[in-house]
Amino acid sequence: MIRLKTTIPGPKSLKILDDLKQKNGGWSISYPLVFSGKGAGSYCEDIDGNIFLDFASQIASNPLGYNHPEMVRVVKSFGSFPVKYAGQDFTVAEHLELIEKLTGISPKGLDTAFLVNSGAEAVENAIKICMRKRPGTKFGISMKGAFHGRTLGALSLTNSNKAHKKGYMRLPMMRLDYDESAGAQLEAILEREAAPEEIGFVILEHVQGEGGYYPAPKKMVADLRKITKQYGIPYISDEIQAGMGRTGRWWAFENYGISPDVFSAAKALQVAAVVSRKSMFPGEPGAISSTWGGGHVLDLSLSMKTIEVIKKDKLLSKNKKMGSYLLKGLNDIKYISGQRGLGLMLAFDLKDKTTRDHFIIECIKNGLILLGCGSSSVRVVPPYVVTEEDADKGLEIMEAAAKRISSKGFVHTGKICRFMGCTRTVT
């Protein structure tokens, strides 16, 4: 259960966060706690002894929650060094074992995978294999509101926040609206702008992540898949955040009855991967590679155990059930709107960014960890082990927070505002 022993952040966390803010070159914004490694299920503990209910799941990267006994057993089983090998050149058995398990939960025909370290790398390699397959490529096509990663190729596809892209070079790209008009827009590009062979790929998230947690309209997906098949344009599904069971299916695109040519996976997988048919991958050695890809045996083992636990504990159906339970509860909360989602990938809107940020701060002050997304949205992404009791507690905190921040003259105070983007000057 939630237990708050100090103000947030606590003194031990505050010292580390203040130092990191000065010394971490990638600093942007931090959640005001430092994890201790302690916790169980949906609950985690910081180094000050505060216990939080986590409905963020490390940005959807922690599907089985904290200290899941089967995951802990995997970690404890490694008593030798190294655990990281140069996996594309020097082989470990776990490399093959994970590829077989991963392709075993993928659509028929998508029988080959390339393992890398992160979601951005997976997207980079997904577009690389498409471009290599289509030497006439002039540009790619992505969606408005998309987020695909922060490396330069993946960043070129991204369209959710100009701060991500300011000052960086980009690959040539065209955008489609993330709505039912997307198919007609793609047809117009083919009619007026380019031959099919000049389009390297069409890439989309079937539930947009950073862009606002919007499930794709069914007509949009059906139209885009029909057109890409008709013209032989590779269709890439970005499953970095929505994949590995979060929507109640192994892959978000399965909710739409389609199969892509290529998809990327990471986060909940514990490693990252590009999955496609063998013929899509370059035959030339060295055309794609990665020093650590397929060689981090601890991560590979945790990935395989994650797949095993999801199957054994029937978590796909549980995610659908718990997602419906949470969505029903969100629909009953006043002062929020636009409740939406698939499975345990849920979101809602507040009236503007400032109100949204106040809401998240108020929830954290009361022991509930949430994440923002889009311009004024909040995402709700608990671990797959979340219980109805956990859900009820989270909903209770969200309802109280929504009511409190809506009161006249509400303002936040405290050291938490150093890290949460508050607009007020605080001490």
pLDDT digits (tens, 9 = 90+) for 297-346: 999 999 999 999 999 999 999 999 999 999 999 999 999 999 999 999 99
Domain assignment present for residue 78? The answer is: no
Single residue among 312, 342, 373 that ends a domain in this structure:
312
Q: Does position 29 have pLDDT exceeding 90, yes or no?
A: no
DSSP strand E in 221-310: where?
235-238, 262-265, 272-276
In total, how many domains does the chain have? 2
Q: Cα(325)–Cα(361) distance, rounded to whole angstroms?
A: 24
Residues 143 and 227 in one domain: yes
Q: Are residues 239 and 184 in the same domain?
A: yes
**Residue 358, Cα to own-chain centre: how many angstroms?**
23
Q: How would you write 139-199 as a 3-class SS string?
A: EEEEECCCCCCCCHHHHHHCCCCHHHCCCCCCCCEEEECCCCCHHHHHHHHHHHCCCHHHE
Q: pLDDT tens, 96-115? A: 999 999 999 999 999 999 99
- The chain-wide mean pLDDT, for the chain, equals 95
| Average pLDDT score over residue span 150-166 | 89
What pTM does this model have?
Answer: 0.95
Q: Are residues 320 and 302 in the same domain?
A: no
424 domain-assigned:
no
Evaluate if residue 426 carries a pLDDT over 50.
no
Position 376 scores a pLDDT of: 95
Say how many CA atoms lie within 13 Å of 425 toward its Cβ.
0
| Residues 291, 342 within the same domain | no
Of 29-33, 42-46, 230-234, the least confident: 29-33
277: domain CATH number is 3.40.640.10
Mean pLDDT on 385-404:
97
Share of the chain above pLDDT 70, in %: 98
Residues 128, 206 within the same domain:
yes
What pLDDT sits at residue 422?
A: 64
Same domain, yes or no: 177 and 305: yes
Res 427: pLDDT: 27
Average pLDDT over residues 26-46: 90
Beta bridge partners of 160: none
Question: What pLDDT is recorded for position 417?
Answer: 81
Residue 308 included in any domain? yes
Q: Are residues 243 and 366 in the same domain?
A: no
Question: Is 318 found in the same domain as 275?
Answer: no
Q: Which of 24-28, 75-79, 122-126, 213-217 has the lowest mean pLDDT?
A: 24-28
Residues 297 and 365 in one domain: no
Q: Which helix (H) or strand (E) holds 143?
A: strand 139-143
Q: What is the pLDDT of residue 164?
A: 84
Would you mind telling me the total number of residues written for the chain in this entry?
427
pLDDT in tens, 351-374: 999 999 999 999 999 999 999 999
Q: Which of 284, 312, 340 finishes a domain? A: 312
Based on the domain organization, do 229 and 162 belong to the same domain?
yes
What domain range includes position 307?
93-312
Does residue 402 surpass a pLDDT of 50? Answer: yes
Boundary-marking domain end, from 312, 328, 346: 312
pLDDT of residue 246: 98
What's the whole-number mean pLDDT along residues 397-417?
A: 89
305 and 326 assigned to the same domain: no
For residue 77, is it within any domain? no
Assign residue 391 the CATH number of its domain. Answer: 3.90.1150.10
Q: Is 74 part of any domain?
A: no
What stretches of 263-314 show up as alpha helix (H) in DSSP? 297-312
Residue 104 sits in the same domain as residue 193: yes
| DSSP designation for 135 | T
pLDDT over threshold 70, residue 425: no
What does R_g of the chain's alpha carbons equal in angstroms? 22
